[in-house]
A and B are shown apart, each in its own frame.
Chain A
Amino acid sequence: MAIKLKLLSLLVSFGMMFGIIELVRRRKLKEEYSFLWLITGFFLLILTLRFDLLTRITQALGVVSSLNTLFFFGLIFVILLCLHYSLKVSQLTVEMKILAQKIALLEAEINSNIKNDAVCPIPFKG
């Protein structure tokens, strides 16, 4: 691997890992969402330091170019990430629905109780 390319790859790998850790440190990214990114950064680092590993994987898979191998695994990573987000969004949708229903029912109950006591109702302001 050419020196310049190796340096660039090292910079990207370390930059990615430190960037993710910093985002977690600042509480902008939850630990559970950082896992895939850190693993990816780590593998990038390994492949940069041991380029022969990439070559061996490429040959084992029967791929023509090492670059194609990188793209392939990069695509797998993006697919996994999207699936992870879809699962999370589905879960959040359900939780949001339950929460909205609970709020609506509680507000109705409060207004009913307040009405019985002839006090001004509390309107919900979304």
Chain B
Amino acid sequence: MAEKDRVLVLIPAFNEEERIGTVIEEVKKYLPEGEVVVINDGSADRTADVIIKAGAKVINLPFNLGVGSALQTGYKFAIKEGYDYVIQLDADGQHVPSFLPVFLEKIRRTKSDLVIGSRFLSPGPYAGSRVRRIGIIFFARLTSFLIRQRLTDPLSGYRAMKRAVVELCSRDAYTFDYPDADFLLALHRQRFKIEEIPVTMNPRKGGQSQHRGLGPIFYIFKIMLSILVNLLRKNERSAHGD
């Protein structure tokens, strides 16, 4: 790793006392040079205590804001503290930390601004429910159409990004309830380069899903509306890519 590069491993967590300790341990094992920060999104259990005991930094939100705003808190922290790269993964153990060095290598060595870990580029134990798979395929095709680039797993929360992407995502005008197809479209319109790498993912164990409280139909409606208004907005291009 270049001497001056600083890497933040960002983990949003909501009621993940059972798994977060193990996740932090594995992250430190596979990416010792990364600094682990967990955004405790208003957990009611001992998530914060487990994070501190595992030796990671915790940022406690005073109440639950949802995964999008929790991640944005982490982005704001990353910009403030001067990190060059941010790698984010889930706190529930679905994302396999052994891929962290692969993410870092890819984001450092290539021109890609955002690297997404796709569970569908390689065979793995993740199966997911049929409904969920249909949803993922739908959004994958929609996103691929919108950004004119084939993506297989736009819903994957296992991602690495360069500082420029982090800076954009830290702006309050770019808050997304969940960084999804609309988020990728926004990045594409800002001319950021997006790439996928194959990863394996585990089935979810314990904790509470970040998607809780959102019925699938309402969720799809929100994403579609977000995409529509994104396309209708004037594309105020940042200095990146000009």
- Interface positions of A (Cβ within 8 A of B): 94, 97-98, 100-101, 103-105, 107-108, 112, 124, 126
Contact = CB atoms under 8 A, between A and B. Distances in A.
Given A94-B172, A94-B175, A103 B62 contact: yes
B62 A126 contact: yes
B141 to A, nearest CB: 31
B69 A124 contact: no
Contact of B59 (A94, A97, A105): A105
B69 A105 contact: no
A101 B76 contact: yes
Contacts of B59: 104-105, 107-108
Contacts of B73: 101, 104-105
23 contacts: A97-B69, A97-B175, A100-B61, A100-B62, A100-B63, A100-B69, A101-B61, A101-B69, A101-B73, A101-B76, A103-B62, A104-B39, A104-B60, A104-B61, A104-B62, A104-B73, A105-B59, A105-B77, A107-B59, A108-B57, A108-B59, A126-B42, A126-B63
A100 B65 CA distance: 8
Contacts of B61: 100-101, 104
Interface on chain A toward B: helix, strand, loop, or mixed SS?
helix
A107 B65 CA distance: 17
Given A100-B69, A105-B77, 7 more contacts: A97-B65, A100-B62, A100-B63, A101-B69, A104-B62, A108-B77, A126-B42
A98 B172 contact: yes
- Counting contact residues on chain B (CB < 8 A from A), the size range is 10 to 19
Interface of B: 39, 42, 57-63, 65, 69, 72-73, 76-77, 80, 172, 175
Contacts of B175: 94, 97
Contacts of A126: 42, 62-63
Contacts of B60: 104, 107-108, 124
B87 to A, nearest CB: 19
Contacts of A105: 59, 73, 76-77, 80
A97 B172 CA distance: 9
Given A94-B172, A101-B73, A108 B58 contact: yes
A105 B62 CA distance: 11
Contacts of B39: 104
Interface-centre pick from A100, A104, A124 (highest chain B CB count, 10 A) = A104
A108 to B, nearest CB: 5
Q: Which 9 A-B pairs have the closest CB atoms?
A: A108-B59, A101-B73, A126-B62, A104-B61, A104-B59, A97-B69, A100-B62, A124-B60, A100-B61
Nearest to A95: B172
Contacts of B42: 126
Nearest to B42: A126
Interface-centre pick from A105, A107, A112 (highest chain B CB count, 10 A) = A105
Given A94-B172, A108-B57, A101 B72 contact: yes
Contacts of A103: 62
A107 B39 CA distance: 12
Interface-centre pick from A98, A100, A101 (highest chain B CB count, 10 A) = A101
A75 B60 CA distance: 44
B158 to A, nearest CB: 23
Contacts of B58: 108
A101 B40 CA distance: 11
